């Protein structure tokens, strides 16, 4: 067992109102400059929808993530090193600017410099890339509020199978929810493995994936390999850029900018301890629907004495172990198991998880002629919610509707139980018991999801620079190598050296 720590995030989608405050503050902080006008390290999508960039989830087209070869080994969907070498100067699997959107500015000068006349002067849009007049025909969230959904959302790659006929793009009949996205900072990042120059790397101390700007040569293989398309190319510098998980703030024990400014308070930050020796095995799980359980098995119990001893031996500080025990991410992912990863079938083992949205379940009970106070009626209504279970399963469980239904039933039971408590009624513990919760756990989960304070939502320990020198002895260890074949595994994944700050290397490999 090789214990490592990872900073991770969970988002409660029931709370996202689509205000885009997180996107705007992230852009103002990280991409408010020339060359990345089109890039949104954090964006909020309306689902169903084709996403940003357009149809990024269609890996048959974009070749992102991992797949298994005939011998059951992990290989990049974009191809091996020979194929990447042959396409080094002409990579065909890249989104174009039309798939993102053409960034625009406006001719504001015309408002004050236009000659006097009978017409009111206007500020027409101009392309930031060419400076020429242009028309706004696409954006990072064109389906927002169903505005563009009737025309485009039918192209959502998740709308597959016969169940997709349930989805109607009419304002009174369809459904929507907002899906905030950022870099997943995966345990098995495809972008890191695809980088020919070794510029992409995963920090050993907290798992954040970064780009070394000095080593980046702009080959753009990372853009293709990332199945979430969260690596961008700065067209002014020709180098790759991506979400940094606000690592300067995280190192200071502060939450990310998107979390700090989230209006709905839907984001949770915390530490997860995991066994690095199991990552490769978990990512190579043959059955896609078993990948969720395989990834959960990689996470370690921070209360287990053996795990604590192994973590101390690995040099993880005591305050980090305490943060792992208080982590809201661990509680939602492993303890209560209500958080799910985005597209686990990509086999990158993402570390940004989501609590799926729960439709107005009591309305569904009433419509079906059921009793809102009967747990059996409420649970049965979960399968008839406005948001099809099949759609949520395509997003979060590789198509396994039973897992999604189990999470929604747990949330439904929790909502019903706390509603009875709030109204002063006799709370029926049978419902939450059927969902796998005790009365104490229900109260704790409700407090975490509904009324958690700032310090409960964000448990981010500060970095320990004084302990950095102790890691120099293990700087060549790959976090996703298997214990049986470390050298071959490291070559296959192509993961560069991971480093911490030391007196000899103050930058610690950071960009």
Q: How is 434-463 classified by DSSP, letter by letter?
A: HTT--HHHHHHHHHHHHS--HHHHB--PPP
Q: How many CB atoms lie within 10 A of CB 438?
A: 11
At 347, list the tokens.
């086999």
Can you say whether residue 415 is alpha, beta or left, with left for phi > 0 and alpha for psi between -120 and 50 degrees? alpha
- Could you tell me if 404 and 292 are in contact, meaning their C-beta atoms sit under 8 angstroms apart? no
Closest to 472 in 3D by CA, of 446, 436, 497: 497
Per-residue pLDDT, 497: 36
- Rounded Cα gap, residues 484 and 444, in angstroms: 41
> So what's the pLDDT on residue 239?
95
The H-assigned helical ranges of 268-336 are 279-283, 291-298, 305-313, 318-325, 328-330
Dig out the tokens for 431 from the structure.
């419902």
- What is the pLDDT, as a whole number, of residue 145? 74
User: What domains, with CATH codes, occur in the chain?
Assistant: 253-457 (3.30.70.20)
Measured in whole angstroms, the distance separating CA 71 from the mean position of its chain's CA atoms is 30
Task: For residue 252, give every residue at least 6 positions away whose Cβ sits within 8 Å of its Cβ, in sequence order, or none.
Answer: 462, 463
If the chain, 511 residues long, is cut into consecutive pieces of 10 residues, what is the mean pLDDT of each piece? 95 94 95 93 94 94 94 91 82 90 91 88 91 90 81 87 78 81 97 93 94 93 96 95 95 95 96 96 95 97 96 93 97 96 97 90 55 58 74 94 91 87 82 89 94 95 67 40 37 37 45 39
Strands (E) in 410-510, as ranges, are none
CB 223 within 8 A of CB 229: yes
Q: What pLDDT does 64 receive?
A: 95
Burial class (CB in 10 A: 0-12, 13-18, 19+), 130: exposed
Residue 484: predicted pLDDT: 40
pLDDT at 40: 96
Confidence at residue 480, expressed as pLDDT on a 0 to 100 scale: 43
């Amino acid at each position: 067992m090789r214990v490592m720590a990872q900073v991770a995030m969970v988002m409660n989608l029931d709370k996202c109102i689509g205000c885009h405050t997180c996107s705007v503050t992230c852009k103002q902080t990280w991409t408010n400059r020339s060359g990345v006008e089109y890039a949104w390290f954090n964006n909020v999508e309306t689902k169903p929808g084709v996403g940003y960039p357009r149809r990024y989830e269609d890996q048959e087209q974009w070749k992102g993530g991992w797949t298994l070869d005939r011998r059951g080994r992990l290989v990049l969907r974009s191809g091996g090193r020979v194929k990447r070498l042959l396409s080094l100067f002409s990579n065909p699997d890249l989104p174009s600017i039309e798939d993102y959107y053409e960034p625009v500015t406006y001719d504001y000068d015309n408002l004050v410099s236009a000659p006097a006349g009978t017409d009111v002067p206007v500020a027409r849009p101009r392309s930031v890339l060419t400076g020429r007049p242009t028309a706004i025909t696409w954006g990072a969230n064109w389906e927002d509020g169903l505005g563009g959904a009737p025309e485009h959302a039918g192209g959502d790659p998740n709308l597959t199978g016969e169940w997709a006929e349930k989805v109607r793009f009419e304002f009174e009949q369809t459904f929507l929810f907002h899906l905030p996205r950022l870099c997943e900072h995966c345990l098995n990042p495809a972008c890191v493995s695809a980088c020919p120059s070794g510029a992409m790397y995963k920090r050993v101390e907290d798992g954040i994936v970064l780009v070394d700007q000095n080593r980046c040569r702009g080959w753009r293989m990372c853009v293709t390999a990332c199945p979430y398309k969260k690596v961008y190319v700065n067209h002014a510098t020709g180098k790759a850029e991506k979400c940094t998980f606000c690592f300067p703030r995280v190192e200071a024990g502060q939450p990310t900018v998107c979390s700090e400014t989230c209006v709905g308070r839907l984001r949770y930050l915390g530490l997860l301890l995991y066994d690095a020796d199991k990552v490769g095995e978990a990512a190579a799980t043959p059955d896609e629907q078993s990948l969720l359980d395989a990834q959960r098995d990689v996470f370690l119990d921070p209360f287990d004495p053996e795990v604590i001893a192994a973590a101390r031996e690995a040099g993880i500080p005591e305050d980090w172990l305490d943060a792992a025990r208080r982590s809201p991410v661990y509680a939602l992912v492993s303890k209560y198991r209500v958080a799910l990863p985005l597209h686990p079938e990509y086999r990158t083992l993402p570390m940004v998880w989501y609590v799926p949205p729960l439709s107005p379940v009591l309305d569904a009970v009433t419509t079906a002629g059921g009793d809102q106070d009967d747990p059996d009626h409420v649970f049965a209504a979960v399968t008839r919610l406005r948001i099809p279970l099949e759609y949520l399963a395509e997003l979060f469980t590789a198509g396994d509707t039973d897992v999604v239904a189990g999470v929604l039933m747990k949330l439904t039971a929790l909502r019903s139980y706390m509603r009875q408590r709030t109204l002063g009624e006799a709370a029926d513990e049978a419902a939450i018991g059927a969902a796998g919760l005790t009365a104490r756990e229900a109260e704790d989960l409700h407090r975490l999801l509904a009324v958690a304070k700032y310090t409960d939502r964000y448990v981010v320990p500060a970095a320990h620079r004084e302990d950095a020198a102790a890691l120099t002895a293990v700087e060549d260890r790959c976090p996703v190598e298997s214990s049986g074949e470390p050298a071959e595994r490291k070559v296959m994944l192509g993961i560069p050296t991971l480093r911490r700050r030391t007196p000899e290397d103050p930058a610690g490999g950071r960009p």
